[in-house]
Structure 1
């Protein structure tokens, strides 16, 4: 029985935790608008899905080690595994008080260990940094920065003292640098070896999502400004605003790319797992905008909070409907 179940887990996609990321952050965005009942429903869905996928991933790692090793050695699939890190961090950020805090700490440990293992796998990629590898850079590469900033969110959310805030600040800086390096690699690939429209997948939305989660993590750090060294507060605030501005700039660009892909080149708008990579950035942008408004005391930024959160919810419903209809048509 277990072996048969393990065989079904063999084809589990590396980025299988993307729906958990998307559902968890949309839940948080809705909670900030006061829609607590719907937020709890989504959080329950995200938690249940996380547990199921974690068990399936464990079975895959136990019975199909060769498959996992192949994925960790393939730059087109390796970065998808960072969705486990991000999903753990997104859920842990909601479990920061009461008895649930223990579960939040456990998820933090899972996220940290998995991120370290994946970082080691990246370092061991044969020819990493060569032109051959860089030609494969795409939106999934930003998931490494997303995972690192998810660790920052979890650390800051667990009511830390000065040493933990200092550690979180160091990780945040590393995450921003990693984002910049990844952006340079992806831009270089798009300039010199652009993919055809059919392969210009929704995963490129993670470019915006990584900037948004960096904004959110930085805004959460600003909320603990009393524990931050005085010389870093102003640069931190300026960088957070710059990241939010960059994320805002990317939204119309990504929307235009989608129109160009599906209307101009007539790529079918069928369900693909990377569609969740659109939902997650939208939910993260809504959450980051609200947190930045509170941290910088900019009332104007709080005005779009509800529309942004409900737009993310609409995207979640649309992708979920695509998934359901896709499975129904596959059965028939």
Structure 2
């Protein structure tokens, strides 16, 4: 695409917004879908189905926008894919696809869910090799370690989301379905390994380069969300029907999920404290940015993980914590959603004003 065509697209209504579309915007689908799952588990079906509708609409619209951006702003898209601070946010596409598929499976749309799980598996495989390669093999003169951030944890979340998808898929296949057990255990294991690796890199970044208040963005909450989704994926694997791979690791996985939940719970006060440090002590403005959805999803996932493990392991206190977390996550979801809608309205208003001014000048 030549430069004149690119300029022409930028001149179109909302062209600049499309050009700057966040690679991690599918976190909107992740956060909304997991809230829908949470309300489904707790019996609030009206709220759950309303959120499901929003998640489906967001999923379709975002795919259209991402495809349009890739076709129209190729240079900007490739720049994001090679940017250590943005590239791993594309894994929200994988996680959003899988979590939405799980909710649709609960709703009875097994055929659609199976398609989404297959798409999620394909994207997980392609992105899992393409994105890290692009990031690590591309050199722009800036140290990669200094640009490691919370979005890197989404790689682990995507792996765990695929594991959950496979456990939801298993009851719909007759026989052993060994390949489902293999993919479920492999993606869960890879997700755990990636979490450890990313945590080491993030710790090294903080030790050697530090993190300013402005740099401590909402995706760091995914450090907690990645543990919470590992709890859900692990407990689902433990509950799976027998396959050789699942049987080989069932005891091991069963022994980790409570530990993972405890670690996720331990991280929450730290993340809240970091938010106070960022916004209260250092006066970083609290305004809407798309990455806020990367904070909504971990909160919703922690609620679902708590309810799930509380029921599976007969831990009523943990289940009660899950109910409280679901209420908090609901409030946060609503605030972020309203802020997003407000931003869209303001953008549309500015666009209409600019169009009126241009028309008057011409």
What TM-score do the two structures reach when normalised by structure 1?
Answer: 0.92
Measure the CA separation in 1 of the matches of 2:99 and 2:40. Answer: 13
Q: 2:150 aligns with which of 134, 139, 147?
A: 139
Q: 1:168 aligns with which of 184, 187, 202?
A: 184
Deviation readout 1:65-104 (Å, 9 max, x if unpaired): 3222221111111111111111101100122268621211
For 1:121, the equivalent position in structure 2 comes to 131
Per the TM alignment, residue 140 of structure 1 is displaced from its structure 2 partner at its CA by 0.3
For 2:252, the equivalent position in structure 1 comes to 235
For 1:92, the equivalent position in structure 2 comes to 101
Unaligned residue ranges in structure 1 (runs of 5+): none
| Bigger Cα displacement from structure 2, 223-232 vs 46-55 | 223-232
Per the TM alignment, residue 63 of structure 1 is displaced from its structure 2 partner at its CA by 2.9
Deviation readout 1:142-201 (Å, 9 max, x if unpaired): 011111111111111012545112321121111100110011111111111112111211
For 2:262, the equivalent position in structure 1 comes to 245
Q: Number of aligned pairs?
A: 330
For 1:194, the equivalent position in structure 2 comes to 210
Measure the CA separation in 2 of the matches of 1:229 and 1:149. Answer: 15
Measure the CA separation in 2 of the matches of 1:217 and 1:289. Answer: 12
Deviation readout 1:242-287 (Å, 9 max, x if unpaired): 1111100000000011011111111111111111111100100011
| Bigger Cα displacement from structure 2, 66-75 vs 91-100 | 91-100
Unaligned residue ranges in structure 2 (runs of 5+): 1-8, 351-362
- Structure 1 residues 229 and 74: alpha-carbon distance in aligned structure 2, compared to 1, 3 A threshold: closer
For 2:33, the equivalent position in structure 1 comes to 24
CA contact (8 A) 2:39 2:45 kept: yes
CA RMSD of aligned residues (A): 2.3
What TM-score do the two structures reach when normalised by structure 2?
Answer: 0.85
CA contact (8 A) 1:202 1:278 kept: yes
Per the TM alignment, residue 229 of structure 1 is displaced from its structure 2 partner at its CA by 4.9
Of structures 1 and 2, the one with the larger relative CO (CA 8 A, separation 6+) is 1
Which structure would you say has the larger Rg? 2
Q: 1:156 aligns with which of 143, 161, 167?
A: 167
Per the TM alignment, residue 6 of structure 1 is displaced from its structure 2 partner at its CA by 9.3
Measure the CA separation in 1 of the matches of 2:248 and 2:53. Answer: 41
Give 3-state SS (helix, strand or coil) of 1:303's partner: helix
Q: 1:54 aligns with which of 41, 57, 63?
A: 63
